[in-house]
Structure 1
Amino acid sequence: MKHLDELSTYKRFPNIRYEVYLHGAHTDRVDKGWISYKHVHHTTFEMNLVFNGCQTARIGSEEYNQCPGDLLIVPPMHMHEYQVIHSDTMQYFVVHVQVNDPDFLQLMDEQNSWFYPKEELLNKQITPLLDEFYYLLQQSTSKLAAFSKFFEMMNILEKFFRDAQEEFIPDPNATLAYEIARSIDKMIHPVDFQENTSNWLELISKEKGISRRHCHRIFQQTYNMSPREYLMVLRQQEAMKMLTNTTDSIEQIAHKIGYENIQSFIRQFAKWTGKTPGAFRKKYKETFKDYGRALKYLT
């Protein structure tokens, strides 16, 4: 065997570390008029499959009518939302996938068509595996079995995207933007939160060894949103989750997501949702069925 003949020659292979976090997986049957909140994920892509009925999916400025068997693959850093407009009921399955692989995420962003109707090739390759993955989750199977099935899908996705591109060259700017976004993420994490500073972008730029202007430009070019816009989206999502999943006071939540002035937080939250934080929390408790289901997407 060839590999046995080569044993006499020492060859070192690279260390490999690949982290995947599957989260926010759920299925639900929702009624006409249901709408998810507009949201965005960093380092996380979303796979969304409709079982019954139809939903309208909006990704950025694009709109799709997703019906039974149609698959959506939403890459990171793309604002998206869903709404049931034309069907009386709609059932879907969704899973969010966080990976520490900037090259794969860049490839997905460049070659992904987002919407794959049931007759398209990638759909035919992925959907049977996604159905099996869904079944494994229902059976509360072992983590290894679930990940094994999922990596089959990841392998197909990577090959499909690479075949669509003659030559893939990792973009160092995309990697830098990825790292900037990770630094912004840390400003939201309640445990890591220390103190809100007006020059936060300056501090991140210094940490990356680049100018503030270059930091802003790279992020804007890569994600089509400014660092501040991204921070505001993260604050909105975190505030909504904390208002519905914790008993923290409005003031505590404001400070945890980076607001020193509670009135500034209340005004901003009202701009986001049309309700004050207190009214939003009250409405959630009164109408958990609708609000709770919409908030499941804010993973």
Structure 2
Amino acid sequence: MVSAFLPPVLGQCLSETIIPDVKTTLNLFGMHLRKVSGEWDYPLHAHPQYEFNYVLEGEQLFTVNNRSYIQRAGDLVLLRPGDSHASRSGNGQAFTYFCIHFDIDDKLLISLLSRLNHVLFPSASNIAHKLGPILSKLVDISGSISGDITMSQRMRLQSAVFDLFAQLWEAFSIEADLSSPATYEKIELAHQIRSRLQGLVYQQFKLELPYDSHYGIDDIASELGISASHCYRVFRQVFGISPREFLSEQMLHEAKVLLDDPSLSVSRISGILGYRDIAHFSRQFKRWHGTSPREYRESGQ
């Protein structure tokens, strides 16, 4: 589904592939590449972001939630928000490490990270092996930065971090298939439901189906070979909201995007979104947002 694009005229499009929306916010904090002496001793602390810590040379002694880990070259440490941790040299010698603090609003990825129960991933592990080349790329980009970061460098860093997450997902998929296939299958099923819900919103735009048309979540469940109750349960477990709430969020988002286009009348937007009339659209929008479409547009929110 592509936001804020009007559907093509029926009969003109010979083929198409619909890619579900990608709406992810990534924030990177305190990323650094650092070489420290054997006297290095960083005090116990915690922070609200995730952290990847990757040793390039030497040894680091990491203490996480009162448990100690020796981290050697090629080993990766993953810290979750709120983990108390401290670090110092593991052998009294200098060492070099690379660190990323981040947060991300992708609920599927957060669900994945919450299931990685390990803190230390040795260099020989599948996850460290998969992530190593991308971490090395991030190290190279970071090493090229001197002074203020350029737009090009910022984009390259963000691109590499997203690639890091992709490799992490693939590596986790392999481990999940070996250790807990039921858990991994649940996450994948929730992702399929989410993609089809986004497609449902797009289909309403493309065919101008009525918003309350009969095709909906129950049909998606049937197509996936599951019961409607299982569909609701799995989706809520992974994303924290029901499929219907997610669908409402998507419709509200698209309504806001269209309302931000002054060339479109509220009546036209109502039709694009598949409502049978402007009054129905206005009531639904006010139920979601607390204001009418016209009030939203006039407020410039």
Q: What's the TM-score once normalised by structure 2's chain length?
A: 0.49
Q: What's the TM-score once normalised by structure 1's chain length?
A: 0.50
